[in-house]
Amino acid sequence: MRFGVITLFPELVQALGTGGITARAMARELISVSCRNTRDFTEDRPSSVDERPYGGGPGMVMSAQPLCAATRAAREAMAEGADGAAGAAVHTVYLTPQGRRFDQARARELAQHDALLLVCGRYEGVDERFIASDVDEELSLGDFVLSGGELPTMAVIEAITRLLPGALGHEDSAVEDSFSGALLDCPHFTRPEEFEGRKVPEVLLSGDHAAIRDWRAEQALVRTVERRPDLIRNAVLTSVQREQLERVRQQREQGVNPNWEREQ
Ligand code: 4GY
């Protein structure tokens, strides 16, 4: 997967190459991340990437011209394709709280592209005509406001990278994780058996693999019911999970805490 990034802070995004799974994926040539600085594409007043908003109001707006020039240059370079052949499709994404919500399903879909171009805004946002002319899709990481699109861009790159075959050390990890099954993950424990008076749930020490699998599945349901009931409504559950869910709901109705912490 080839990622292109349009940003005023390329050094921020290039940190993806300094550690973790994205750095390893770069070293293995599973991904490449090529940044372009928006400031290098200004045509008028040297290095002016922002202007005061038409209609007045506080702050500045990023001008359409350098963004268009930068994305078009990036798209042309990326369309050459890894093999040098022309015409590869480049999907252009703008990160903004106004976008459609990014989630694991969207990460899986975006992982199918050969080339993704991610555009980072700053200030109050970008001239809407840039979005109209050059952006295929607006994505939001959530209902909060940052100062720029760089951190969301890095999050999207990492979420996609870990889905690429060969990117994770242990091939099962991506499948087992939270959201692959559309539920929250179960709680995890490691040594010691007791930490500050809190004990590891008995079943995890039992060596009974079937019991452990069932307990983890049930705890995943418990957490999802407690923290994200909205996910339950859309989840496709196995018949075992439906029975577990029924039991968890009954316990909650009877005032019994089905959470692992009750054991403590
Ligand atoms: N939340 N999800 C987000 C964001 C910063 C001004 C436009 C978000 O995706 N992006 O908060 N982005 C703003 C800053 C320009 C992007």
214-246 pLDDT, tens digit each: 999 999 999 999 999 999 998 989 899 999 999
Integer Cα distance of 236 and 232 in angstroms = 8
Model confidence at 169, in pLDDT bands (50, 70, 90)? confident
Residues with Cβ within 8 Å of residue 183, at least 6 apart in sequence: 220, 221, 224, 231, 232, 235
Checking if the pLDDT of 200 tops 60, the result is yes
Best mutation site among 96, 98, 103 for ligand 1 pocket (most ligand atoms within 8 Å of CB): 96
At 160, list the tokens.
């996609």
Given this model, what pLDDT does residue 181 score? 67
The answer to whether the peptide bond before residue 192 is cis (omega within 30 degrees of 0) is yes
Residue 55's pLDDT is 98
Does any ligand 1 atom lie closer than 6 A to the CB of residue 97?
yes
The pTM of the full predicted model, rounded to 2 decimals, is 0.95
Asked whether 145 lines ligand 1 (CB < 6 A), one says yes
The residues carrying an active-site annotation are 97, 124, 162, 177
Q: Which of 23-37, 118-132, 227-241 has the lowest mean pLDDT?
A: 227-241
Region 200-220: mean pLDDT is 97
> For the ranges 20-24, 97-101, 127-131, 230-234, which has the lowest average pLDDT?
230-234
Q: Is 182 helix (H, G, I), strand (E, B) or coil?
A: coil
